[in-house]
């Protein structure tokens, strides 16, 4: 689907991003010692409504695989991961909340070999000095998300839903919709992203690096949280955040036109998949975006606010007796 966020998004978002800005922001601190895990970035939230419309069709494209351009007629698709959970409905009583901006995010990248070949949208290698899996991308404006023969990249984003819902104690989440801004310099074929709910046990930290060696207080593909030299916590699956996540939705891009900066929205995420976030805020570890398609740029919360990921919630009165 394509999503056009109207009044609510306009309140939250402003400005304009050039097509290929180089990262030049300062590093921010992160505390790796902690009893409670740090959140190294913050963002405002707002309430409003949004709507989406489906897109169809496909265009010929060119995929860039870690520096190798290769003309293709098709791109990889993930299997459908939309949850089978039933959506709560409450006609005439629905409340639209959001779109919410992220409170933290990070890219998680792995590759073969001792030198990371992963590139940004300028086709510049981000840091070839060590393996991708040992690097932190917590302050990276955006990176490509996708898969190649050499490796893969995933994107994790947290919207602080539990904190926002404290203002709505009598409401339950019926469904949620994630919207992202994908980008590429040339037309691309249909690409399908899988959206997963990060496992509650996969407590992760954002980190304060832009494609640099992960240290104490950071995360990486290898470790979701480097708490200390003798306390390094791996992902529950051992294979990054997505493989241990709960399948929740898909984002079908349809044709991705060169230089387009349109929001694309997910299929509905069942509110029942997020219910434990409200019962236990420490269980909220956000959503993970992945695809088996060749890499495509995804804008992160470090980008200009007009292109950050957004999460919209549909609320219903909580069922009698809670839940």
- pLDDT over 70 for what percent of the chain? 72
Nearest to 173 by CA among 286, 301, 313: 313
Q: Lowest mean pLDDT of 47-61, 123-137, 210-224, name the range.
A: 47-61
Which pLDDT score, from 0 to 100, does residue 311 have? Answer: 98
Residue 322 is predicted with a pLDDT of 53
User: Which region among 20-24, 126-130, 280-284 has the lowest average model confidence (pLDDT)?
Assistant: 20-24
Residue 302 has pLDDT above 50, yes or no: yes
**Banded model confidence at residue 84, pLDDT cuts 50, 70, 90:** low
The answer, as to whether pTM is greater than 0.85, is no
Q: What is the mean pLDDT of the segment spanning 120-124?
A: 78
Largest CA distance in the chain: 57
Across all residues in the chain, what is the average pLDDT? 78
Contacts of 100 (CB under 8 A, 6+ apart): 45, 46, 159, 160, 161, 164, 310, 311, 312, 313
Q: Tell whether the model's pLDDT for residue 124 goes beyond 90.
A: no
User: Contact at 8 Å (CB) between 83 and 248?
Assistant: yes
Summarize the confidence of residues 193-218 as an average pLDDT. Answer: 96
pLDDT at 194: 98
As a whole number, mean pLDDT of residues 235-244 equals: 95
pLDDT higher than 70, residue 307: yes
More confident position, 247 or 67: 247
pLDDT at position 47:
37
Residue 304: count of CB within 10 angstroms of its CB: 17
**What number is the average pLDDT over the span 247-261?**
93
Give the per-residue pLDDT at 83.
52
Q: Kindly state the average pLDDT of the residues 133-162.
A: 93
Across 102-124, b (16+ Cβ under 10 Å) vs e yields bbbbbbbbbbeeeebbbbbbeee
Instruction: Provide the 3-class DSSP secondary structure of residue 277.
Output: helix
Residue 102 CA to residue 310 CA, distance in Å, equals 7
Kindly tell me if the per-residue pLDDT of 222 is higher than 70: yes
Taking the C-alpha atoms of residue 112 and residue 151, their distance in angstroms, rounded to an integer, is: 6
Tell whether the model's pLDDT for residue 14 goes beyond 90. Answer: no
For 45, which DSSP code?
A: B
């Amino acid at each position: 689907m394509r999503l056009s966020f109207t009044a609510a998004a306009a309140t939250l978002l402003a400005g304009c991003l050039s097509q290929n800005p180089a990262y030049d922001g300062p590093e921010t601190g992160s505390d790796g010692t902690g009893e409670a895990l740090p959140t190294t970035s913050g963002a405002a939230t707002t309430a409003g409504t949004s709507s989406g419309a489906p897109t169809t069709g496909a265009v010929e494209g060119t995929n860039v695989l870690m520096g190798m351009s290769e003309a293709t007629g098709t791109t990889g698709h993930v299997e459908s991961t939309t949850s089978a959970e039933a959506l709560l409905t409450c006609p005439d009583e629905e409340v639209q909340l959001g779109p919410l901006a992220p409170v933290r995010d990070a890219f998680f990248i792995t590759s073969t070999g001792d030198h990371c070949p992963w590139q940004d949208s300028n086709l510049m290698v981000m840091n070839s000095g060590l393996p991708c899996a040992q690097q932190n991308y917590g302050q990276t404006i955006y990176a490509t998300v996708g898969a190649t023969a050499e490796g893969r990249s995933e994107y994790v984003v947290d919207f602080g839903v539990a904190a926002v819902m404290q203002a709505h104690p009598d409401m339950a989440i019926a469904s949620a919709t994630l919207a992202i801004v994908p980008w590429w310099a040339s037309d691309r074929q249909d690409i399908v992203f899988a959206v997963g709910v990060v496992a509650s046990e996969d407590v992760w930290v954002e980190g304060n690096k832009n494609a640099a060696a992960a240290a104490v207080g950071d995360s990486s593909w290898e470790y979701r949280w480097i708490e200390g030299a003798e306390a390094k916590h791996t992902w529950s699956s051992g294979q990054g955040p997505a493989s241990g996540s709960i399948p929740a939705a898909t984002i079908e891009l349809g044709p991705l036109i060169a230089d387009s900066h349109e929001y694309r929205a997910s299929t509905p995420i069942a509110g029942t998949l997020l219910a434990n976030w409200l019962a236990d805020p420490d269980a909220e570890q956000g959503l993970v975006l992945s695809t088996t398609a060749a890499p495509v740029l995804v804008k992160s919360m470090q980008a200009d606010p007009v292109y950050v990921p957004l999460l919209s919630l549909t609320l219903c009165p909580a069922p009698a007796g809670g839940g």
